[in-house]
Amino acid sequence: MKPTRRSETLAALGGDPVIPKGALKPWPPVGALDRKMVLASLEGGQHTYGPNCTALEKEFSDWSGLKHTLFCNSGTAALHMALVACQCGAGDEVLAPAYTWPSSATCCLHHNIIPVFVDIEWSTMNIDPDKIEAAITPRTKAIIVVHLHGLTVNMKKVLAVARRHGLKVIEDCCQAHGAAFGGRPAGTFGDVAAFSTNQNKIMCSGEGGFFSTNDPATFERGKTLWYFGENRPPDAAAGYHAYGMGWMYRSSDLVAAFARAQLTRLDANLAKIHANAARLTECLADVPHLILPTTPRGHRHNFYNYTVRFDMAAMNRADQARAFRDKLVVALRAEGVETGVWQGWPVPEMTALQAKDAYGRGCPWSCRHAAPVDYSLDQYPVARRHCDWHTGMTTPLRPPNGPRMAQLVARAFGKVMTHLDQVDQIK
C-alpha cells in the first residue's frame, strides 16, 4: 500500500526530502588566506611558473616526505611524467587496475605504451595484488598502483612481486593525500608518485598535480616531459634545441598560490573528513542491503570518496543490478544526498581500448614494437560487478559539512532502502 505521509514517500515520488535544500555546503571552503595569497600572486607580476610554484614544491615535499617534487597542471600529467621517469616507452606494457579513473591507463597511451589490466579486490576496490603476477609478460616494465578513493593498496605484496620481476612501481596517489599503509604515507613506497589537486581532491587548487620521487635521477628524467621536452645540455646557451619529445605540463603561480593556502589546512581537513566518515559508517550500520567501505588492518583511509555498494543479491535484483542501482541513485539524490556513479564501467571497456585504436590505424597496438593483448571483459568479473552495484560520495563528508550532515545522509539512505517498492516506481 502506498504510504500516505509525505515523510514516508520518497522525494523522487513527491515526498519531502530528508536533506533540506541548501544544507549541503560546497567544497572547497575558500577563506581569507586563499584570497590573500591568490591576490598577492595576481599583483606580483609572475603569472607563469613563479615564486609560489617553487615554494609550493618545497612545502609539499616537506608534507609528503618525498624529496623531489615538481608542480604540474594535473595528476594525469604527473602520471605521464612518471612513466617517462621509469623509462617506459613504445611497445612496453604497464599494468594497471581494471577499475580506476581512465587517466591511470590513458597516460600509457600518451607515450605509446600498452596498458594491461588486472582485476580488483571486492573488499578494497583496489588492484588485486594476488592477480598481478599472472598479468606479467616479458614486455612488462612497470605497475601503476592506484590508491583508489583514498585507500592504500597492500604495498608489501606489490613490492614483493615488483622485486621478483624487476619492475618499476608508480603510485597513483591522485586521491590518496594522507592515506597510509603500515604507518608509511602513500607515495613513499614506489619509484615515483603522482598526486592531483583537481577541485574535487582533498587538497585542491582548481587544477594541478605533483610529480614526486625520492630519486634525483628519476626526477630529472620525468622533468624532461614537463616543459616541451627541453632537456637543456649543461653547456647550452640561452637558445638551444630540444632533444626529446615533450608536452606543456607546467602550471601557474596563481594556481600554486591557491594550492599553498589549501595545503595549510590539509591535515585539519583530513581529520574532519575521517571523523565524518566514522559517523556515517556508524549511522549506516543498521540500514539494510548496503555493503559499506572497509579499512583493512594496517591501512589508513582518507575517505576521498565514501563508496557504498548495494547488495543486489540480497535484494533479488542481481539480474537487473545496473538499472536498479540507477533508480536508487535517483532516489537518494532526490532526498538531497550528493551521490553518483563515479565510474560506470571497467577501464578496458572504453571504446578506444576495445577497438585498440587510440591514434588511428590501430596505434599504439599496431606499433611493430607491441605484442597482442587481450581486453576481453570476462577477465574482470569483480570490476564489472562493482561498476553495477556502487554509488559514491565526496562532498557530504567534506568541511564545512560535519557529523550532522553524515547523520542526514544516513537517514536518507535508510528512507530509500526501506522503501524499495517505491524505488521500483521511479521511471
CA distances from 359 to 112, 260, 366, 376, 377 (A): 10, 37, 10, 21, 22
Parallel, antiparallel, or unpaired for β 140-146 and 168-172? parallel
Same domain? 248 vs 270: no
pLDDT higher than threshold 80 for residue 3:
no
User: Residue 298 corresponds to which cell in the numbers above?
Assistant: 594496517
Per DSSP (E only), the strands in 198-305 are 209-213, 290-291, 299-300
For range 278-296, the mean pLDDT? 98
SS3 state at 77: helix
pLDDT for the residue 241: 55
> Closest Cα partner for 180 from 150, 158, 157?
150
Q: What's the whole-number average pLDDT of the chain?
A: 94
List the CATH number of the domain containing 18: 3.90.1150.10
Domain boundary among 229, 264, 299: 264
Q: Do both 38 and 137 map to the same domain?
A: yes
pLDDT of residue 228: 72
The continuous run of DSSP H or E covering 409 comes out as helix 403-417
**How many other CB atoms are found less than 10 A from the CB of residue 229?**
15
Last residue of a domain, one of 264, 293, 317: 264
State the burial class of residue 66 (Cβ atoms within 10 Å of its Cβ: 0-12, 13-18, 19+). buried
138 and 251 fall within a common domain: yes
Domain that holds residue 403: 6-28+265-343+384-423
pLDDT in tens, 204-254: 999 999 999 999 999 999 998 988 765 555 555 555 555 567 789 999 999
Q: Is a pLDDT exceeding 50 seen at residue 12?
A: yes
Instruction: Please compute the mean of the pLDDT values over residues 31-43 and round it to a whole number.
Output: 97
- Residue identified by cell 515526498 is 15
pTM of the full structure: 0.94
> Bridge-partner residues for 211, per DSSP?
70, 194
The predicted pLDDT at position 15 comes to 96
As a 3-state breakdown, the chain gives helix, strand, coil percent values, each rounded to 5, of 40, 15, 45
In sequence order, what DSSP letters do the residues of 140-177 get, joined into one string?
EEEEEEE-GGG----HHHHHHHHHHHT-EEEEE-TT-T
Residue 370, classed as helix, strand or coil, is: coil
Residue 139 lies in a domain: yes
**Domain end call among 217, 238, 264:** 264
The 10s digit of each residue's pLDDT in 307-326 is 999 999 999 999 999 999 99
- The per-residue pLDDT for range 63-93, each reduced to its tens digit, is 999 999 999 999 999 999 999 999 999 999 9
Higher-confidence residue of 401 and 237: namely 401
| Region 325-343 average pLDDT | 97
AA identity, residue 155: M
- Whether residue 132 lies inside any domain: the answer is yes
Same domain, 20 and 42: no
pLDDT surpasses 50 at 1: no
**Would residue 75 count as lying in a domain?**
yes
Q: Is 314 helix (H, G, I), strand (E, B) or coil?
A: coil
